[in-house]
Structure 1
């Protein structure tokens, strides 16, 4: 559940002109006490001078621009492939019995041509937040070309194909309601309109439509059936909760907002939304006490008013114990507001990386809206960030549900791949973007020039040097359906700035609804293997068999015949059958890579609540596969404490407490606005067990989380956490988060690896740190990567050492040569550069600084 920060009734009242306040980006979105225009990216973005609770609520990525749909789309398949079918859209939530003389087939025939046969004009795109005060970089020809492509796609996208263009869909329905042929048709369209208005961030307007339907039923003297009442109440309750959120969590946003259990500044000052929701949810539970979604939302509504648990009716009280943590990790606070990183966005990707090689981790964030600008924030090294989106030449690079980065041309500067089209079916035939880092603070889209242009719906990709030739290759997992196959792609790096697609030749052109991919050498033979997480089918493990000709060695750009084998069954890693994010990691430090795959399909908020209460459910849990060291794996989720529903979309891992064992953060949710469930953090206890530390660490934000990145953003030796928030529907926007690590007493080591024969970023290099402790020696094992499949952590390795007495040795195994370098007597609590074949570590002088905590509890107000 997230915010569009929109004023009441603007969509409905502006329908005649074909524009909404959101699409115009106008000040009609404003609410009293909210500053929409404070952000000036040409200067360091701090909020020290702002009045209390006036965080940004609109910026470049929160302006929805829905231009004139021209229906014919040269990039997408014909509209018939994914027509908006109101019959299907309503059959799950609004049966014909809700409407008098309910011949549903007849109504559907009326709705499809009448409600959708309209073309509207929409507002042009607005400039970015720094355009007025910054001189834009001269964009390269590739960027100009891609921006034009994306603009055409924006203009041509048909809201009948894309169910997430809710403002446009609402405007179409508003236009047609006045031309309804009958009262049943009008009521049907009004209920559809209420749903679209709420999804577009207009809950007041949605309630108006629902109230008009209710008045008709009351005046007619005809009672609603039980299922109709349930759907009606559900819609009213969630619309009221959306009002509560907009008026409090967003208009009066602070660092406590939306974190459960809600306390302190998170308690709502304006009560009408939550009070209204409580009325409808109470009615729903009186009629159906087993409605677990309503049960959860009722407890949540009371919580927003500071009345949980004492005022929740006993029979519907969710016990406080479900929020308790198993370990006190220390409180992490969201400091995105003071840093100016609290971009309002939809679902998107996150990257934390040093893009300009100044020793400071920067932030890149995407948002999947067709007009949502990619954002690039430069770390100034003094507790401030500067939005360099314009100066970096990125204007017009919009959309993208996920991103991943690597140094594909070995020039020492990380490049970025933006992934598009996921969840849209045939309407998702959008190009990805390969953004080359020019090393001068600018990027250029080289998708076409590098020969990686393809038009398949996707959100997941992984970089890996599959043939160990020193040039990083790219695997993209695409989303297929039974009718529309989209094979996965492997782009072989030719070593000259271009790629060649070779997936079919290598035997890895899998056709499935792929939601996560990862490279990792699970059998320790020196070759990166490949794991695919599939939402609608079994997961796949491809073993890298190397060159088909014995003794052949790959050289730069070499296309030596190579082979992969599907070993899923033998390895025992096909589940869960409906999974989402995934990764390889060595969670138990035994030197063998393990696999974590998160279940997702068939789960809902009701299933999550059932799981919390110990009741049966149909949801999919995570599967933690421990590597047995013999080519097989064993699922240990139950004994590891992960036998529970997580509903993760984005996820990543890191070592938050620097104890030498990898923890993970799960960014949770689903498009349904009722999915008001907390994001989760799990601490690795070091004994093949994980502990839920969500509440003690302050991670339980109930907004929908997506891209997750770990990294030491303030150079103080511990990892901080960046999360892109926001949902799928056009009104489901929320501030991105940056969690500041409170630190601790454990030691640390930061290593920046640089390949020479190996790819420059050293992706795939293996690290072993041997520690001397009072209990004897122990090893920590890591592999250089960006982490999980949805969100990208820094490629520098930030290694927790626990309470070690000293470091005995650091061993680096370089994948291209297979050689291992060993460094002894390495100092703790320091950062070093490790260059392949160089005999000594190079100390790095990193600027340590404090992150501002303005507005954080116990600190001065914002």
Structure 2
């Protein structure tokens, strides 16, 4: 056999190996730098009072005493529920739900109850959140032997509303899992969605809310009713994780429920507080898996709400929302590493290092052997799916941890999200606290929207517009995770960028737009409910070009109107400030305002200036010479067609599209030298130069 024939036979093998190398690199390898360090022994040392070794489950974050700082509420199963507050003087978390009858928090301990799910929201419109604990008391499904608890601060103490005579008939006695908060009508008063675990026709999902006509909150009288049937969510299934927010709706709260042994639910709010399950229609039903933790986020920054969730010992999902209004579909982009089955419990999506890229944390339970937690970063790319990079969780790996829940919040006010993990089920273990080791110098902004009553606006949508990197979307989730509820804050990591403006959309459709000054960087912004308009205001579209107005991405027959004024003088002043601070805002990112359609992001009409750390966020096959298995590094983009200069991002240049590419294709046939899959890596964050790494194997 001639050398030419032998080399020609090796070409398919070479190309296959190049493609395999490209696939491996596109997922990213686990970084060596640990993301988290354990601070449990400094902030919450295991002890009998504040961090007992017991079975713990769900975790929720709220402000129980209305002092402006958050408390962490933990559902205790074979021990008391915990209410952890950060004591600045002592520099640690302490349990304020003391074992003292004189304590106003004493009832929250509920020692006889075996709680697993917990959520917090304002159900009666008094401006303070109530706490709901879902108790199972050893029942897996169907009937339980102990009722759930719904605690309200009344007469200076936390008391159970479900123990009131008027509410005993609606108190749930069914075994369930997650609970979440839903403002289904946009009233500012929340309903409690209870994902019960049915046994046959015993234990449907419930939706408890206050009967406004029969109640008198000022006198402490709150009458509860179950409206699940009339709302369209009374289902018999194995309910697990729940997330709440404007998933398909522009503003109204939709409900996603991951189920076990049956298809998932995606309840789309019709706009009147009733729901229709559209999970199968949009591709989220996943009928043969067993859902657990879930989180809502915009992973590719297209202005749509995406969904990530874990399946128990099944493939984990990362669904991006796509399609035109009326034809929405969710597309799973999870890579093999990301989707790798595990005994997953909760799932968290957050920016732990404040670098503008979201991380996804999978909290696993050591089930029939070790099962470490996992962490991934999603790196946004223009006009392409995000790169999924596996990270090193550091101390949060916990291979022997019996993970049952977790949440994030910034309890010490340093602008970095802290990770709290609970453990239990198969072994009693104390809580764990972790802090990020990376990104301490990055900018950040935390936004806290309020309801018309002054409580946290769970279910609200917050969009932050930055000076260099465009728009970032966050949902104040009324549920999330598994058995858990995250903090009621839109946390934005900014890297070296700064915010220029923000937009908050409430569940009733009201919208507030305000400028963000440079001096407000690295701070917490409280956003009150807008009261200066009779109807939800429609912001004026700023400098909307004709090309955007005619974009097919808008719903047919609907274009944004550049002439619609913002109502009220305050809104007009805000609009003027926005024009001065961010004149390209609406030209770059325009969402539809019609509540009957799904919000759609319009394409940029001109490329904005990109910060240095966003030059190359994609994989492009470009022709580079590799000789007999030796790879090389191109330190100048001019050496490889398809490279990019620091000033602009060049379009992909696949091998064969240029004369040089044709030349290399010719060399391939003759000598086995030709196009290689070129990886433009993401680990260049620490490098001041742009480079590409070409990998080739001639075997």
* TM-score of the superposed pair, with normalisation by structure 2: 0.63
Residue 390 (structure 2) pairs with residue 692 (structure 1): yes
Between Structure 1 and Structure 2, how many residues are aligned? 474
Deviation at 1:507, TM superposition (A): 2.0
1:665 is the counterpart of 2:361: yes
Superposed, which structure 2 residues align to 1:488-507 within 5 Å? 488-495=205-212, 496=215, 497-507=222-232
Contact preservation (8 Å) 1:327, 1:691: no
Equivalent pair of 1:485/1:512 in contact (CA under 8 Å): no
Question: What does residue range 415-426 of structure 1 map to in structure 2 within 5 Å?
Answer: 415-421=130-136, 424-426=140-142
Q: What SS is found at the alignment partner of 2:179?
A: strand
> Which residue matches 1:814?
506
2:124 aligned with 1:388, yes or no?
no
1:263-274 → structure 2 map (5 Å cutoff): none
Q: Is the 8 A contact 2:309 2:347 kept in 1?
A: no
Q: Are the equivalent residues in 1 in contact too, given 2:243–2:477 (CA < 8 A)?
A: no
Distance in structure 2 (CA, Å) of the matches to 1:564 and 1:387: 39
Q: Does 1:459 align with 2:177?
A: yes
What residue number does 2:82 align with? 375
After superposition, give the CA deviation of every residue in 1:83-119 in whole Å (9 maximum; x if it has no partner): xxxxxxxxxxxxxxxxxxxxxxxxxxxxxxxxxxxxx
Q: Secondary structure at the match of 1:377?
A: strand
In 2 relative to 1, CA 578–469 (structure 1 residues): closer, same or farther, beyond 3 Å? same
User: Aligned to 1:590, which of 294, 297, 302?
Assistant: 302
Does structure 2 retain, via aligned residues, the 8 Å contact 1:821–1:837?
no
CA distance in 2, matches of 1:342, 1:690: 35
Cα distance, 1:466–1:344 mapped onto 2, change above 3 Å: same
Structure 2: gaps of 5 or more residues: 1-26, 216-221, 532-569, 575-699
Aligned to 2:627: none
Contact conserved, 2:474 with 2:491, CA < 8 A, in 1?
no
Q: Distance in 1 between matches of 2:491 and 2:257?
A: 26
Shift of 1:666: 1.9
Q: CA separation in 1, counterparts of 2:374 and 2:152?
A: 34
Give the secondary-structure state (helix, strand or coil) at the position aligned to 2:346.
Answer: strand
Deviations 1:201-254 (A, max 9, x none): xxxxxxxxxxxxxxxxxxxxxxxxxxxxxxxxxxxxxxxxxxxxxxxxxxxxxx
Asked whether the equivalents of residues 346 and 725 of structure 1 are also in contact (C-alpha less than 8 Å), the reply is yes
Partner of 2:526: 833
Structure 1 residue 488 displacement after superposition: 0.7
Tell me, in whole angstroms, the C-alpha distance in 2 between the residues paired with 1:638 and 1:375: 36
Q: Residues of 2 paired with 1:324 and 1:705: CA distance?
A: 24
- What residue number does 2:270 align with? 545
Q: Please tell me whether the aligned partners of residues 376 and 391 of structure 2 are also in contact (alpha carbons under 8 angstroms).
A: yes
Residues 33-72 of structure 1 mapped to structure 2, 5 A cutoff: none
Which residue of the partner structure matches residue 125 of structure 2? 410
Q: Once the 2 structures are TM-superposed, how far is the Cα of residue 811 of structure 1 from its aligned partner?
A: 1.1
More strand by share: 2
Establish whether residue 437 from structure 1 lines up as the match of residue 162 from structure 2: no
Are the counterparts in 1 of residues 345 and 482 from structure 2 also a CA contact under 8 Å?
Answer: no
Question: Residue 64 of structure 2: which of 355, 360, 372 is its match?
Answer: 355
Post-superposition Cα deviations, 1:608-644, rounded to whole Å, max 9, x if no partner, equal: xxxxxxxxxxxx1111111115353333343485221
Whether the 8 Å contact between 1:518 and 1:531 is mirrored in structure 2 is yes
What SS does the aligned partner of 2:363 have? Answer: strand
2:375 equivalent to 1:681: yes
Checking the alignment, whether the CA contact within 8 Å between 1:531 and 1:542 is kept in structure 2 is yes
SS at match of 1:404: strand
SS at match of 1:475: strand
2-structure distance, mates of 1:323, 1:725: 29
Going from structure 1 to structure 2, the CA distance change for 1:567 and 1:327 (only over 3 Å counts) comes to: farther
Counterparts of 1:768 and 1:784, CA distance in 2? 11
What corresponds to 2:352 in structure 1? 656
Counterpart residue number, 2:680: none
Secondary structure, aligned partner of 2:133 = strand
Task: Single out whichever of 497-506 and 816-825 deviates more from structure 2.
Answer: 816-825
Find out whether 1:709 has 2:403 as its counterpart: no
Which string of whole-angstrom CA distances, capped at 9 and with x for unpartnered residues, describes residues 498-536 of structure 1?
332111122211111111222222223332222221111
Matches within 5 A, 1:29-428: 325-326=30-31, 328-336=33-41, 338-340=43-45, 341-369=50-78, 372-382=79-89, 383-390=91-98, 391=103, 392-394=105-107, 395-397=109-111, 398-421=113-136, 424-426=140-142, 428=144
Aligned to 1:580: 292
Q: Distance in 2 between matches of 1:374 and 1:566?
A: 34
1:769 to partner: Cα distance: 0.6
Q: Residue 338 and residue 588 in structure 1: after superposition, are their counterparts in 2 closer, same or farther (change >3 A)?
A: same
Against the structure 1 CA distance between its residues 516 and 695, is the aligned structure 2 distance closer, same or farther, given a 3 Å change threshold? closer
Tell me the alpha carbon deviations over residues 52-96 of structure 1, each in whole angstroms, 9 at most, x when there is no partner: xxxxxxxxxxxxxxxxxxxxxxxxxxxxxxxxxxxxxxxxxxxxx
Distance 1:588 1:327 in 2: 25
Distance 2:411 2:513 in 1: 28
Structure 1 match to 2:425? 727
**Aligned partners of 2:251 and 2:506 also within 8 Å:** no
Q: Deviations over 1:152-191 (max 9, x none)?
A: xxxxxxxxxxxxxxxxxxxxxxxxxxxxxxxxxxxxxxxx
Q: In the alignment, is residue 800 of structure 1 matched against residue 508 of structure 2?
A: no
Cα displacement (A) at 1:676:
2.1
TM-score, normalised relative to structure 1: 0.52
2:595 corresponds to:
none
Matched, 1:533 2:258: yes
Does 1:623 pair with 2:317? yes
Q: Choose the corresponding residue for 1:761, options 456, 473, 485.
A: 456
Q: 1:642 aligns with which of 330, 338, 351?
A: 338
Structure 2 equivalent of residue 473 of structure 1:
191
Distance 1:491 1:696 in 2: 41
1:518 to 211, 233, 243: 243
Contact 2:335/2:388 (CA < 8 Å) preserved in 1? Answer: no
Q: Residue 500 of structure 2 contacts residue 516 of structure 2 at CA under 8 Å; is this kept in 1?
A: yes
Q: Which runs of 5+ in 1 are unaligned?
A: 1-321, 548-561, 604-619, 842-862
Contact residue 707 and residue 792 of structure 1 kept, 8 A: no
- Deviations along 1:272-294, one digit per CA (max 9) or x if unpaired, are xxxxxxxxxxxxxxxxxxxxxxx
Cα offset for 1:426?
A: 4.1
> Is the contact made by 1:348 and 1:400 (CA closer than 8 Å) also made in structure 2?
yes
Verify the 8 A CA contact 1:599 1:622 in the aligned structure 2.
yes
The CA deviation at 1:679 is 2.0
SS of 1:734's equivalent in the other structure is coil
**Backbone CA RMSD of aligned residues:** 2.7
The 8 Å contact of residues 623 and 635 in structure 1, kept in 2 or not, is answered as no
Change (3 A) 1:438 1:332: farther
In 2 relative to 1, CA 592–348 (structure 1 residues): closer, same or farther, beyond 3 Å?
same
SS in 2 for 1:642: helix
8 A Cα contact 1:342 1:735, kept in partner: yes
Contact 1:680 1:700 in 2 (8 A): no
Q: CA deviation at 1:784?
A: 1.4
* Displacement after TM superposition at 1:324 (Å): 7.2
**Partners of 1:408 and 1:473 within 8 A in 2:** yes
Residue 706 of structure 1, CA deviation: 1.2
Distance 1:766 1:694, change over 3 A: same
3-state SS in 2 of match to 1:349: strand
Against the structure 1 CA distance between its residues 821 and 680, is the aligned structure 2 distance closer, same or farther, given a 3 Å change threshold? same
Would you tell me which structure has more helix in proportion to its own residues? Answer: 1
Deviations 1:571-604 (A, max 9, x none): 111115222222332222222111222111xx3x
Change (3 A) 1:506 1:524: closer
